[in-house]
Structure 1
């Protein structure tokens, strides 16, 4: 890039902290750094025009795990680990709401519903049999029962008559959340450069040399918050997981309210501005969806449309207005990776599809380990 003296001096000189990724984690990290060091020169680099991970691509679920997901987690985690996972998500959501305000992000606690297909009786019976056990497990976190049975009152078809209701689940407007975070960051004098891809870096004891697709520069510290794209820069065990989404055109008299999980949470939908936003389906082809390509496949998009027609909106005409994809960061364990990689390089990645819930706290933790 043909940079002038002024551009180099103003944007790329004497950088104290460089944050890679302008998603939930990166922005919260930068805000925490600025809080601790008000005079610090902080630069955020973002490879896209907007955040390219899942921060502006998600469904806006303010959730901490459906019943079937928590039961499944108990197969690979101890009870105490599961309690800690849920606790972190609850605390993260509280921090997000406190930082930005419920009105700003359109937070609504309308509850969440887990639906079970007629063909999935074993999963349904297993979940029902463990409601009391899981409620007791989570009681220290919520001081109340979380899950209960509720009738299918939304005229969904081909599902069990009863759904499992989560009274504490909420929803937000993802766009408003990210817009508010960006405004806070910019108001603090933190610089953001978009369309800048970090290609490689080297830690030289006192500084980090950073090479991008546009220029090279040095920074005292480097903080990597690229989640699903982490493997492109670092060797931590983070796999990309693509989430495909579609949204309908507005539908008159759409009475569906709340957030909805189907098929162990691999499908999820909600009402937003009298439209159905519907995503998921990566369980149809895990290997293909283990990608950083932000595109769609016929296999999953056709399945989403089929479920809309047969299950979610069986008696309602609808049209698809838009489709997109987001990239999550997952692994064998649900515990995020927040660690020091070398003298001056740190990372906060692998949010496991819970970025809305834990992104604020992971960003804060990432900043804190550099202090």
Structure 2
């Protein structure tokens, strides 16, 4: 691409910070850098027309982990690590609310519910029995009990009659959130270029030379916030994880409100006004879903529809209006990776499916490394 003098002068000269990825983490990083360095030139590169990970494709859950997820995490993490994870997720949600405002992100504090299929009796019993234990270990964070047992009032099918309720969960409008962040970035003189894929970068003395599919330029600092696309940066500590989703057409008299978890959080659903958004199922094919492809598969979409018919909406007719998928970043450990990779290159990645909860905090922590 042959750039004009004006393009070189205004966009690609004297760049202080270049951020790769315009999702939740990337935009929060840029805004935090602007606060710390008011006169700096900040450039964000995004390979898609919209963020290509999960920022505009997630389900809009303002959550920090269902009880089954927490119990499952305790099998691979220490108790202290799990508490720190929950604390970080909850603090991140508060930061997101503070930065944008509840009305802007359309936060609805309906609470969260976990339901258990009849075939999961042993795990259901384990979760019920451990409610008081989990409440005890996280009470210092919330100053009260978080989880409680409630009788199913939604007329779900094929589940145990008791749900586990969490009053601290809420739902947000993901589209509103990202539009507000993009607007705030523009208002703070942060430059955003779309359809720019970083193909290579090289540190040279006190700067980094960055090459994309269309341009080559120099930047003082290079920060990657590419989450599920970051495996090469982190020596495969991050793996992509596709999350498939569908949404129904409007359903008259829908009486389901809240965020809902099923099967250790591998399935999740919520209402959006009078529709049901339902996603998950990568545990049906972990190998196949370790991909950055945004296709959907019959295996998972059929299972989502089956659970809609038999569990979520067993007494109602519905039609599917739309299907999509997004790319999360996961690993053997759920703590995000926020680190300096070399003299002038940094990364904030591996949200572990909790980007809404911790994205704002990771962006702040990444900016604080500079």
Under TM normalisation by the shorter chain, which class is it?
over 0.9
Partner of residue 246, structure 2: 246
When the two chains are superposed, the root-mean-square deviation of aligned CA atoms in Å is 0.8
Partner of residue 219, structure 1: 219
After TM superposition, the score normalised by the length of structure 1 is 0.99
The answer for unaligned runs of 5 or more in structure 2 is none
State which drifts further: 283-292 or 227-236.
227-236
Shift of 1:132: 0.4
Q: Match of 1:342, SS? A: coil
In 2: Cα distance, 1:169 partner to 1:241 partner:
23
In 2: Cα distance, 1:306 partner to 1:76 partner:
31
Size of the aligned set, in residue pairs, is 370
Partner of residue 210, structure 2: 210
Q: Is the CA contact 1:20–1:44 (under 8 Å) kept in the aligned structure 2?
A: yes
Q: Is the CA contact 1:200–1:233 (under 8 Å) kept in the aligned structure 2?
A: no
In 1: Cα distance, 2:12 partner to 2:335 partner:
34
Partner of residue 75, structure 2: 75
Q: Is the CA contact 1:89–1:357 (under 8 Å) kept in the aligned structure 2?
A: yes
In 2: Cα distance, 1:258 partner to 1:232 partner:
38
Partner of residue 356, structure 2: 356
Matched, 1:270 2:274: no
In 1: Cα distance, 2:261 partner to 2:335 partner:
22
Q: Is the CA contact 1:205–1:344 (under 8 Å) kept in the aligned structure 2?
A: no
Q: Match of 2:119, SS? A: coil
Shift of 1:128: 0.6
Shift of 1:79: 1.0
Partner of residue 34, structure 1: 34
State which drifts further: 275-284 or 71-80.
71-80
Partner of residue 282, structure 1: 282
Q: Match of 1:338, SS? A: strand
After TM superposition, the score normalised by the length of structure 2 is 0.99
Which stretches of structure 1, 4 residues or longer, exceed 6 Å deviation after superposition? none
Q: Match of 1:240, SS? A: strand
Q: Deviations for 1:68-96, whole angstroms, at most 9, x for unmatched residues?
A: 10011111111111111100011000000
Q: Match of 1:19, SS? A: strand
Q: Deviations for 1:174-203, whole angstroms, at most 9, x for unmatched residues?
A: 000001000110000000000100111111
